Amino acid sequence: MRHALVTGAAGFIGSHVAGALLADGWQVTGLDSFDPFYDPSVKERNVAPHLASGAYRLVRVDIRDASGLRERVTGNYDAIVHLAARAGVRPSIEDPLTYTDVNVRGTHNLLELARDRAIERFVFASSSSVYGEDPDVPWREDAHVLRPISPYAATKVGGELLGHVYSHLHGLRFIALRFFTVYGPGQRPDLAIHKFSRLLLDGRPIPVYGDGTTSRDYTYVDDVVQGVCGALAYAGTRYEVINLGNDRTITLAGMIAELERVFGRSAVVERFPEQAGDVPRTWASIEKARRLLGYEPRTSFAAGIERFAEWLIAGRSSGSSGASRSVQLR
């Protein structure tokens, strides 16, 4: 049985990846610190279904704790899927040192673990934020100059470069996947689609920074998981950086309109100035992912929002995602 160490396994993307690997016959050791960046009870619910599997083990440890990793992460592994990180562009501006500590030192610790245990495959969650304000869209992985404009983005560049070092020196197969605005059931409560949906359902104003014309390449979580599994199967070059996006953009105003449609509610928008660290748009070229990983996003934004809305309403009705409220989806 193949065995994967999945960091950030209790988070949004990590729990989806762990579930997919278990369904595909992998043994999974999930690693998470249950950091209180958002309510840890959300993460507890994410891992609950996996704990019933005899092929799943959960280790609660901080990736900054090198000795804890060596002592508690036992066993032999075919791959590390490193999704753990201190997330968020705006908070990183307020606390850049913590972001560097978690995202760079923590990644370095895991690379050392891979070297010590002779784990030959390392899949790293990078971010579209590394491109910053690059005006040349859609963004391609061979862009010669990255323009990160937040500490969070800089830490992801750092993780990619550390991976190159370990690939070069120690023969590690390191695949950095640049995620583009992942959404879907289980999305973190601080992210825009989830946050805006709750505000809309509660009849509260939605904060919009700027004029609503900023745009994002929204990528449904099942499509991202497909890309992660493709990276685990990739047997080509030792080092690659690959975009996982949807190859199309949706404006902020368009995203809100889609939420209005699916929930059957009109949004009250409260406008604020643009915030430091926010990029005007993200847009992925996914030709490389198609070529190397067989990646093909299949979920339209409208369909993805509908599935997210169904999950959110089900959670609210059961009391696990806010106050119960009767909502008829359209």
Write the DSSP symbol of residue 281: B
- List, in sequence order, the alpha helices (H) in the chain: 12-23, 40-51, 66-72, 89-94, 96-100, 106-117, 151-170, 192-201, 221-233, 252-263, 287-293, 301-318
If phi > 0 it is left, if psi is from -120 to 50 it is alpha, else beta; for residue 96 that is alpha
If phi > 0 it is left, if psi is from -120 to 50 it is alpha, else beta; for residue 70 that is alpha
Strand partners, 59: 31
**How far, in Å, CA of 74 to CA of 211, rounded?**
51
Indicate which residue of 56, 77, 131, 152 is catalytic: 152
Best CA proximity match to 216, nearest among 149, 280, 156, 300 = 280
Q: Is 152 a catalytic residue?
A: yes
Q: Do the Cβ atoms of 290 and 296 come closer than 8 Å?
A: yes
Which positions are annotated as active-site residues?
A: 152
